Chain A
């Protein structure tokens, strides 16, 4: 028995494998563990798209609102203020005021102002449109992340995928209700608008069509509790949720949950100005296009705070407050891909893949010992070490183990012994040629090396491509198989060579080829 550098490295690798795989295997509290993929632990995976054109539209809408507010504050008379998907237009009644209005509009970022006579129209530059769309995506990611962080799940993943997709992964969702809540929280626009009721025409709202309302610059909105009740409100809101600073759940005097919100300084000013001008009229509190309440304005309301009352449960009110606080989504989101796995299916998958792993492993181990005797045992030591190292590396890097990843480990068991088969066959050949044991082992390794390297590298090429182009669970397969191949170079080539070197004297003395390499000596 003598030590050599190979056996030392191999021993270190085994220690590394044991130490770093222990937290995952023994489910220790400390230490880095392998993360189970959503397909194994159950959870929700979604790929969301953003309707960016809606962001541009709502940008236009808010420009229209600011034009309205500006003209009222500066007492400039304007008329026929309208907007569509891409432009705002209006008429300035007093042409002397034109330059003032124009300079106000030019201050709006990315605006293109055209004036013909008294008619002013404004669109956004193409660059500004692109920018707005990009911002809508970033803002959606940020908003969804904020909301989910407050939702109470451990480590929700919210990330950009490609240019315009949002990846959301929620592990550990246990019940259908929880999933439903999460999806509603994510997709809720949470767009708060304070709008003025058109008191002159509201009495006729039930006899009006959408297009009738549009003629007056109004829209018809339904009541949140009772859709039969309708309100006619000015389409351009007084202000929107962008000026919200806080929202929290509270209770009214009857102990029903409601939401208290407060506005920033600018919002408070606009709100104060409006309420001061509109005493005796109604203010509609509109959330996501539904009227939650429409109280009468009794006096000017300063301070910039308000309430949204509705008939919600405590849970709903809490989620709504989270959504409002995290900001509204500038543009609606839609589902591009969804994969949800129930925890029981995940558990079944773990069980099935473990059975396959153990079954395959036992078959390979028995086969190697029967066929190669001592050489088989040595190969099996390398194989076991390989499994620990795969797990250790994955734990250390916090890699995710998925069902295809488990399949990759199973496959590695079958393929990792390949190196030992090649080496053992080479050694057998050399023994047949009459070489000494020492020479047979050394040359066997040398001869086999090139073939093993070439073969492993081609498999690695396929695995790397799979990693680069694969998505979700499939990436897990590429990871385990790559780590498995790399680890097998260490264990099956270097490790076993070290063992032979260590046992060399015994092997040369014994001359019992049958025992060592399973051949008739």
Chain B
């Protein structure tokens, strides 16, 4: 089966302006969301307490609220459904630092008489640990970006690196925007998903860049515009197919993986789609706008080839005993 044939080159760069407008709108909308609604930090980063309770029938949320009212520990607690109507999560800003007093036990006692239930999970993250995790999280995102930047600059050229960073920032921004829009709790798993998006989106970008580099080396006469179009067209099958297989697995994870990794899977799902789009419509046009110097590159290559040839000639002469 073939979805794409290389009979004609698509004019992707011709559409890059429209794509840019779309990207800018999406990124700005994401920032607007982040600024107004704000990220919904979960317990991992904000600190707090989570108690997950599963009933053997539909959870009586109203009755639960009533029962929890009696205890000051549950002041400001929110109760929300978690995955199924039987299961709920109680979220609190407060934390207990006493090792022997367990919020799980307290909850069990408070909810006594509200039905048959089981406390399945208790997460308590103290404020200190929360802020440390946040610090570490931001640090890890930065480090990953810097590490990738260095690698790409080393393997390609600084313009490629900068263009791919633009694409990365684009992807992560939109993913964050989507998370804010849906109102997901941002926990460590979402951070892991964001880091994966960094790696994944770059993966796509690099495949395209690799082709562009190859195209630039091979085709002496065509413009960068045409080379990029040709390279993107030629990698289109691969880009789409890999995205498709990754999308398959992330989608099954999203559908069947369970409530606990829902946020993780959702973030990845957005990342896979946006990452694919950005490697075609964001990274490549930026490379074009930076005006990658094809002529200069060729000259550099030629000079390098000449040096190599010269060396080889010397070596040959030396070996044949001329010198």
A229-237, A289-297, A469-477 - interface stretch: A469-477
Is the Cβ of B249 less than 8 Å from the Cβ of A360?
Answer: yes
A407 to B123, CA, bound (A): 21
Q: Is the CB of B99 within 8 A of A340?
A: no
- 1/0 per position for B155-173, CB-CB distance to A under 8 A? 1000000000000000000
Question: Closest CB of chain B to A180's CB: distance in Å?
Answer: 7
Residues facing A in B280-312 (CB within 8 A) are none
Chain B residues lying within 8 Å of A428, measured Cβ to Cβ, are: 2
* Residue from B6, B98, B143, B248 in contact with A429 in the complex, judged by beta carbons closer than 8 Å: B6
Chain B 195-229 interface 0/1 with A at a Cβ cutoff of 8 Å (1 = within) = 11011101110110011001000000000000000
Docked-complex contact B238 and A421, CB < 8 angstroms: yes
* Bound-state Cα–Cα, A360 to B211, Å: 29
B140 touches A411 (CB 8 A): no
Q: Interface with A: B58-66, B176-184, B261-269, which one?
A: B261-269
Interchain CA distance A25-B199 in the complex, whole Å: 30
Q: How large is the interface on A (under 10, 10 to 19, 20 to 34, 35 or more residues)?
A: 35 or more
- Chain A positions 372 through 406: 1 when the CB is less than 8 Å from some CB of chain B, otherwise 0: 10000000000000000000000000000001100
Contacts of A432 in B (CB 8 A): 6
Question: Cβ of B237 < 8 Å from any Cβ of A?
Answer: yes
Q: Are A335 and B97 in contact (CB under 8 A)?
A: yes
Give the docked Cα–Cα distance between A334 and B124 (Å): 12
Pick from B6, B148, B241: contact of A461, CB below 8 A. Answer: B148
Task: Kindly state whether residue A344 has any CB partner on chain B within 8 Å.
Answer: yes
Asked whether any CB of chain A lies closer than 8 Å to the CB of B79, the reply is no
In the assembled complex, A3 has its CB within 8 A of some CB on chain B: no
Does residue A425 face the partner (Cβ distance < 8 Å to B)? Answer: yes
Decide yes or no: A425 and B206 within 8 Å by CB, A187-B100, A414-B250, A466-B192 being known contacts: no
| CB atoms of A417 and B124 under 8 A apart | no
| A429 and B234 contact, Cβ closer than 8 Å, known pairs A407-B265, A411-B246 | yes
Q: A183-B102, A335-B99 known; A342 and B249 CB under 8 Å?
A: no
Q: Are B195 and A466 in contact (CB under 8 A)?
A: yes
Stretch of B16-24, B69-77, B126-134 at the chain-chain interface: B126-134
Of A262-270, A273-281, A449-457, A497-505, the segment with at least 4 beta carbons within 8 Å of chain B is: A449-457
Q: Which residues of A31-50 have CB atoms within 8 Å of chain B's CB atoms?
A: 39, 46-49
Return 22 A-B CB contacts under 8 Å, by A number: A39-B260, A180-B102, A183-B102, A187-B99, A344-B54, A344-B120, A349-B260, A360-B251, A363-B245, A404-B189, A407-B261, A411-B268, A413-B245, A414-B250, A422-B238, A458-B199, A461-B199, A466-B144, A468-B140, A469-B137, A471-B188, A472-B188
Q: Which residues of A contact B (CB under 8 A)?
A: 39, 46-49, 176, 179-180, 183-184, 186-187, 333-342, 344-345, 348-349, 352-353, 355-356, 359-361, 363-364, 367-368, 370-372, 403-404, 407, 410-411, 413-415, 417-418, 421-422, 425, 428-429, 432, 447, 450-451, 454-466, 468-474, 477-478, 481, 518-520
Known: A183-B99, A463-B195. 10 other contacts (CB 8 A): A184-B100, A355-B257, A356-B249, A360-B249, A371-B241, A407-B253, A425-B237, A447-B214, A459-B199, A459-B202
